[in-house]
């Protein structure tokens, strides 16, 4: 079991303020890059299993990996050498997410809404951006700072709702540690912009980023609907994100929107993805077992009345079915 000292340090050994040239700003970083890699590697198998496993089609999985690796290769500094892995999850939920150290996940539910490779590259690029921007390490650093002056015993997660709240209210339990799964609004916008940067470098038309926002808006049918409960609970409204993306398309990426050198890849996507998914049985909905704690600022009773299970009420893995997922949509993994 990984304790707090082994994973994110203690208050007396807080990470320092480090300038990240990828995003051009300084960050309070809570863990080293090696610790990020270790956390991601430890969490990945559990997360794949609990999200329903990988899509049962080797070609579709390889296609996601191929696009993801092309994006990772365009990242800055030593980031291309991270142990990148791209997992295509057999869940009908509409989501994508990243763990620290280069572990990226995208669900079949989201991919099935797409019509082009550029759209796929946009989502994967966004998640790659979370990794290169070190957003998880930054969130842990923020949580550490909030704990200064407090006596911390045991793991970061434990049964302490307040600590999970410092991680943004939603965390993934890995042994005795917690990995924040919710990013700030600014971090999400930052990941959008990095995703556009990487997809353009990899030769994709950046309009794919705007098209993904349109897909999310249409799928939601209004905030909180259409199977987007988990995503909309932890991310800016797709419309707000789309407005910023439009600014970028009309600005620094204007020349690439009609460039013959920047592909959309509809035909490739139809052949290598849509035709493959059409042959598969329907993907399951929701998370089978969710090692997730959601902290609630109020009581357990209030948390349950809102369809959440608070950290204090959570004891072991949750067994999910369609009804449970409908009753507690915001406990699904935070992501794209």
pLDDT (average), residues 285-289: 57
86-89-95-97 Cα dihedral, nearest 10 degrees: -40
Q: Do 71 and 86 contact (CB within 8 A), yes or no?
A: no
pLDDT of residue 239: 83
Query: Which phi and psi (to 5°) does residue 79 adopt?
Result: -60, -35
Could you tell me what percent of the chain has a pLDDT over 70? 65
Name the band, by pLDDT with cuts 50, 70 and 90, for residue 151.
Answer: very low
pLDDT surpasses 90 at 280: yes
pLDDT of residue 157: 41
Question: Going by C-beta distance under 8 Å and a sequence separation of 6 or more, which residues neighbour residue 231?
Answer: 94, 95, 216, 334, 335, 336
Name the band, by pLDDT with cuts 50, 70 and 90, for residue 222.
Answer: low
pLDDT of residue 148: 53
- Give the Cα separation of 163 and 151 in Å (integer): 12
* Nearest Cα to Cα of residue 124 among 163, 186, 69, 79: 69
Render the burial of 36-52: b for 16+ CB within 10 Å, e for the rest: bbbbbbbbbebbbebbb
Give the DSSP letter of residue 174.
E
- Give the Cα separation of 319 and 181 in Å (integer): 20
Helix (H, G, I), strand (E, B) or coil at 235: coil
pLDDT surpasses 50 at 255: yes
pLDDT surpasses 90 at 300: no
Q: Do 101 and 110 contact (CB within 8 A), yes or no?
A: no
- Give the Cα separation of 37 and 304 in Å (integer): 34
pLDDT (average), residues 103-119: 97
- Give the Cα separation of 27 and 133 in Å (integer): 9
Alpha helix (H) ranges present in 167-311?
185-201, 207-220, 229-234, 238-249, 266-269, 275-277, 300-305
Residue with the bigger pLDDT between 38 and 178: it is 38
pTM, full prediction: 0.78
Tokens of 145: 């700072």
Residue with the bigger pLDDT between 283 and 325: it is 283
Is 21 catalytic? The answer is no
Question: Going by C-beta distance under 8 Å and a sequence separation of 6 or more, which residues neighbour residue 109?
Answer: 91, 92, 93, 94, 95, 227, 283
Could you tell me what percent of the chain has a pLDDT over 90? 56
pLDDT surpasses 90 at 66: yes
Name the band, by pLDDT with cuts 50, 70 and 90, for residue 143.
Answer: confident
Name the band, by pLDDT with cuts 50, 70 and 90, for residue 112.
Answer: very high
pLDDT surpasses 60 at 305: no
- Give the Cα separation of 69 and 71 in Å (integer): 5
pLDDT surpasses 90 at 323: no
pLDDT tens per residue, range 173-200: 555 555 666 788 899 999 999 999 999 9
pLDDT of residue 287: 55
The chain-wide mean pLDDT, for the chain, equals 77
Q: Do 50 and 181 contact (CB within 8 A), yes or no?
A: no
pLDDT (average), residues 51-74: 97
pLDDT tens per residue, range 7-37: 444 333 455 789 999 999 999 998 999 999 9
Which of 127, 166, 190, 248 is flagged as catalytic?
Answer: 127
pLDDT tens per residue, range 229-250: 445 555 567 888 999 999 999 9
Measured at the CA of 205, the angle between CA 200 and CA 207, to 5 degrees, comes to 115
- Give the Cα separation of 164 and 73 in Å (integer): 34
Give the DSSP letter of residue 6.
H
pLDDT of residue 196: 98
Out of 114-118, 131-135, 232-236, least confident range: 232-236
């Amino acid at each position: 079991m990984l304790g707090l000292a082994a994973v994110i340090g203690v208050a007396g050994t807080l990470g320092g303020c480090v300038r990240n040239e990828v995003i051009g700003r300084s960050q309070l970083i809570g863990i080293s890059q090696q610790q990020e890699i270790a956390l991601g590697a430890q969490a990945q198998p559990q997360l794949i299993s609990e999200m329903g496993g990988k899509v049962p089609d080797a070609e579709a999985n390889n296609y996601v990996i191929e696009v993801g690796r092309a994006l990772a290769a365009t990242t800055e500094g030593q980031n291309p050498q991270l142990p990148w892995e791209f997992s295509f999850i057999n869940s009908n939920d509409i989501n994508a997410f990243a763990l620290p150290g280069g572990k990226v996940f995208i669900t079949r539910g989201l991919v099935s809404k797409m019509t082009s490779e550029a759209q796929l590259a946009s989502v994967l690029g966004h998640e790659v951006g979370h990794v290169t921007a070190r957003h998880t390490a930054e969130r842990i650093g923020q949580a550490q700072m909030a704990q200064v002056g407090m006596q911390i015993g045991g793991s970061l997660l434990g049964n302490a709702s307040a600590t999970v709240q410092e991680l943004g209210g939603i965390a993934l339990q890995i042994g005795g540690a917690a990995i924040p799964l919710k990013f700030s609004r600014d971090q999400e916008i930052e990941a959008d912009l990095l995703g556009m940067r990487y997809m353009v470098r990899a030769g994709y038309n950046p309009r794919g980023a705007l098209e993904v926002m349109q897909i999310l808006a249409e799928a939601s049918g209004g905030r909180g609907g259409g199977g987007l409960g988990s995503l909309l609970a932890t991310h800016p409204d797709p419309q707000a994100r789309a407005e910023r993306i439009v600014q970028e398309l009309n600005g620094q990426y204007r020349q690439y929107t009609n460039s013959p050198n920047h592909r959309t890849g509809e035909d490739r996507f139809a052949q290598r993805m849509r035709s493959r998914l059409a042959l598969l049985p329907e993907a399951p909905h929701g998370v089978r077992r969710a090692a997730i704690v959601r902290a609630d600022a109020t009581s357990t009773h209030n948390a349950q009345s809102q369809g959440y299970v608070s950290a204090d009420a959570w004891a072991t893995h949750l067994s999910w079915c369609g009804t449970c997922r409908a009753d507690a949509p915001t406990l699904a993994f935070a992501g794209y």
